[in-house]
Chains A and B, each alone.
Chain A
């Protein structure tokens, strides 16, 4: 196990690599003729292991910063990130990709990795207006 400052640098290099390759794939998709499009968009609920405010902010910003994936909203009470992906073949694929990024980020942000458990069941949600809320 590397010491903490080196883990941060390692994560930055890993993220930079992901960032460039995601940019290339989105650019290629825009330039590709519509008939050969590989686009498979989806909005997926990803269980997350983040706990503190700064971790939630960082993971959702990092996801949005990677072109092709976009955090639409988070649910802190259920521990869920709602992520829109551009090239999603299956639900599990996007979940694994996001959770790998989150694992690496948490290892870089926390001095000791600590609790990395994620909620296993998706929450039962209902439309906001049933409760008369306005958001």
Chain B
């Protein structure tokens, strides 16, 4: 038996890795053509003069005190934002994981809405919470607009869902009986939690923290809208240098700095994720959640619900309220105005942005699921080579690279046949898919890896081809994860603004682009329509996420 094994194994392994490379061909090509090449092109445009690389510029840029200040601010605000998000969202993760209460599914969808909404939409609403005349102002006379607090709180608002979904998802599947057993053996409640639950949970907490750090490190809209002009992150500075000052050399240096930083974050993230995927005894979430018992647990639930209401629901509610607050009383006046094309800013009625957004998002989802699905399938085996593992982190890079860099890169890189796509509609879904792929991979990968390898081996021994093994074993088990991945990619595409705004065409703006254009004009009707469109976008995202809640399976990866 052993002899036979050694004889068969090596060629089989080689075949397996060849197959994996085959699966990776398309994701690699996609990533190279639509991400690496455009970004490299715009960086080269900034740093290459007459064929010679101006690497001296790196030192020059870093020597500027302004730039060093930006780097410092970018880092510390991300650290503080991450800490604050964990502080506020971890109790939420616990409550969602362990407690059963009415409206839990709806609420889990609602807290995810901010994450997929563009900042251009909610920045304004968030001001209503922390700005003048906002809730804090009315209660205590506290105004936080153009302070760093507004930025930090808004980061909690946007990233709450990352913690609840990443940590809460795992927490709900940890067997509570293990902790109970430890207590039975005499451990105190805290000691039991520290020795049993915390170690199991910490990789998930670390992964969530790193994702939040990544999103806040590259924060753009929040810092611009809420922080005022005195605060600038690396991402804002890249935008300013590229788009306003047109100093492409400085922008290129900053892009490279951000690239290195994001690469480092992702490398650490990839490591923690792998640690998390080590075998844990997981149980169905339904079995671990129960109704809260005792005053303490009810108080915790109430506290979490209150923080969600104030931090997350209230800003969203303000959007809805303003969308109905027409000059002649509450009503649908702004929504009706959306159907008229007389506004001037658009060649079509603003309402058509909904159709555009849905079409773009569907196309983006199809691309993201195809590319991300193939990549996840290729990455399934845990003991793969370093090259393949690095690819896992590489696919997440678009999340951390400035949209203006990608947008300008598209413009100068994809301008020649056969890839003259600059004026093509497919550019928008392609850009959106870049952001969607990481979510597909992160959702699919843990599920695929959780499929018992022995099932595959058994099928193979019985003579099934790899394709058949995948179809008969993997597909049925990952169908739900696939749906969830698609749903998330869809919601993220709907809200994508940064890259879309660069390439969306005037006759078919997406919802976020239309909102931004309406906000860019004076007049009550423009403002009201912007609020109405934002509300519609919010509802569409919420519905998509609610559908996801319905199909959530026992083990659904990170989201």
The answer to whether A and B belong to the same complex is no
